């Protein structure tokens, strides 16, 4: 029952306090990863340390106990009832702090990811190389894992300790910490510096309907005649240079006139062109994907399924069963 704590009694209880730093660390890592400039901790960020520091201060009387008294808390025969009651209360308060802090920072991390994803879709037609989709899975896995951890701690505080569940959780914890470290090290920078003419802080001018309609017509004409969508790395800045229209005005036209972002607008043309190729050629799915402006078959399949409702292979076999009006732009053959 005492396990490794009999060899290192000073480590007893330290892990629980240290865990309160995990969620803030993931939040600050995500924020710095998705920022276009170096961002150090500011004065407004220091409250993030309140809950871990509070837990450490509450546990100081326990940390300074002699090793034999620390180990004695784990044994019903050796523990001091009053000392055990105080330690139990501290664990309960620490558990509440852990649950509240972890959920709050995981939610904040999710908001950062979603905001960054929206910004990418407003500026790029290809985002798979600029996003950290693994962070979404990290948030989901951490939420589930920490829920299990909280449940096991609640059961332990009530007197029930399933060693099998505890060992399984510890293995799971080491696994996801290793995966986060690996993904974090291999993750490429995710800044939005490719668009230098557009500044998020600058107010966007409000276009009248006539101006937006004119820009929209020029956009459709460029897509139809110049086939700009065939460039897999097409960005809002590229489109701005091609049309000699500011990025702010293009973004406003996409949002207000088309009711979609730049990413979905370009992919609409790509999917429409891909449908023509699937119906009129015998090219492979990969060839169709590349010709339509996608950089891989996987991204093509995901986008095609989102817009059409079936996979490219299913569409090629049963295109007559797919509704005619999919809201896709028409491209002249």
pLDDT along the chain (333 residues), means of 10: 54 69 83 70 77 80 76 70 79 81 86 87 85 74 74 70 64 72 68 47 68 94 91 93 93 92 93 91 91 91 90 86 71 67
CA-based nearest residue to 303, from 255, 270, 262, 259: 270
Same domain flag for 158 and 238: no
How far apart, in whole angstroms, are the C-alpha atoms of residue 151 and residue 154?
Answer: 5
How far apart, in whole angstroms, are the C-alpha atoms of residue 195 and residue 197?
Answer: 6
The secondary structure of 162-208 as a DSSP string is: -HHHHHHHHHHHHHHHHHHHHHHHHPPP---TT--S--TTSPPPPPP
Same domain flag for 182 and 235: no
Same domain flag for 135 and 248: no
Same domain flag for 16 and 152: yes
Same domain flag for 36 and 143: yes
Residue 58 CB neighbours (<10 A): 16
What CATH code is carried by the domain that includes residue 234? 1.10.10.60
CA-based nearest residue to 69, from 58, 59, 83: 83
The answer as to whether 192 is a domain residue is no
Number of domains the chain contains: 2
Same domain flag for 174 and 264: no
The answer as to whether 193 is a domain residue is no
Place of tokens 């607008």: 265
Same domain flag for 176 and 221: no
The answer as to whether 204 is a domain residue is no
> 195, 241 in Cβ contact below 8 A?
no
Q: Of the candidates 153, 186, 219, which is a domain's last residue?
A: 186
The answer as to whether 107 is a domain residue is yes
How far apart, in whole angstroms, are the C-alpha atoms of residue 36 and residue 115?
Answer: 14
pTM value? 0.74
Q: Of the candidates 155, 186, 217, which is a domain's last residue?
A: 186
Same domain flag for 154 and 41: yes
The range of the structural domain enclosing residue 106 comes to 3-186
Same domain flag for 245 and 180: no
The answer as to whether 198 is a domain residue is no
- What pLDDT does 324 receive? 64
The answer as to whether 333 is a domain residue is no
The answer as to whether 199 is a domain residue is no
- What pLDDT does 284 receive? 93
Same domain flag for 225 and 95: no
The answer as to whether 194 is a domain residue is no
- What pLDDT does 257 receive? 92
Residues 6+ apart with CB under 8 A from 60: none
Same domain flag for 13 and 143: yes
Same domain flag for 243 and 159: no
Q: Of the candidates 186, 221, 252, which is a domain's last residue?
A: 186
């Amino acid at each position: 029952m005492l396990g490794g704590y009999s060899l290192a009694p000073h480590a007893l209880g330290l892990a629980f306090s240290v865990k309160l730093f995990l969620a803030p660390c993931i939040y600050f890592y995500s924020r710095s990863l998705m920022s276009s400039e170096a961002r150090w901790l500011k004065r407004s960020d220091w409250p993030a340390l309140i809950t871990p520091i509070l837990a450490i201060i509450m546990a100081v009387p326990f940390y300074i106990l002699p090793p034999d008294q620390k180990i004695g808390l784990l044994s019903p025969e050796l523990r001091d009832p009053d000392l055990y009651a105080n330690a139990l209360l501290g664990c309960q308060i620490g558990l509440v702090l852990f649950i509240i802090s972890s959920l709050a920072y995981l939610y904040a991390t999710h908001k950062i990811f979603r905001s960054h994803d929206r910004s990418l879709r407003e500026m790029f037609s290809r985002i798979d190389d600029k996003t950290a989709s693994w962070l979404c899975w990290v948030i989901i896995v951490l939420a589930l894992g920490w829920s299990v951890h909280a449940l096991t701690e609640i059961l332990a505080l009530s007197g029930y300790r399933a060693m099998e569940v505890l060992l399984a959780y510890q293995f799971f914890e080491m696994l996801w910490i290793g995966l986060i470290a690996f993904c974090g090290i291999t993750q490429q920078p995710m800044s939005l510096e490719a668009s230098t003419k557009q500044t998020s802080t600058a107010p966007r001018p409000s276009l009248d309907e006539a101006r937006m309609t004119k820009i929209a017509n020029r956009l459709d004409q460029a897509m139809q005649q110049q086939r700009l969508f065939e460039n897999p790395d097409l960005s809002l800045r590229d489109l701005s240079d091609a049309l000699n229209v500011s990025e702010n005005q293009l973004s406003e036209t996409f949002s207000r006139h088309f009711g979609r972002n730049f990413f979905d607008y370009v992919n609409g043309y790509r999917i429409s062109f891909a449908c023509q190729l699937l119906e009129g050629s015998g090219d492979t799915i990969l060839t169709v994907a590349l010709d339509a402006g996608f950089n891989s078959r996987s991204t093509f399949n995901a986008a095609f399924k989102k817009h059409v409702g079936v996979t490219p292979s299913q569409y090629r076999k049963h295109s007559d069963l797919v509704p005619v009006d999919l809201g896709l732009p028409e491209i002249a053959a």
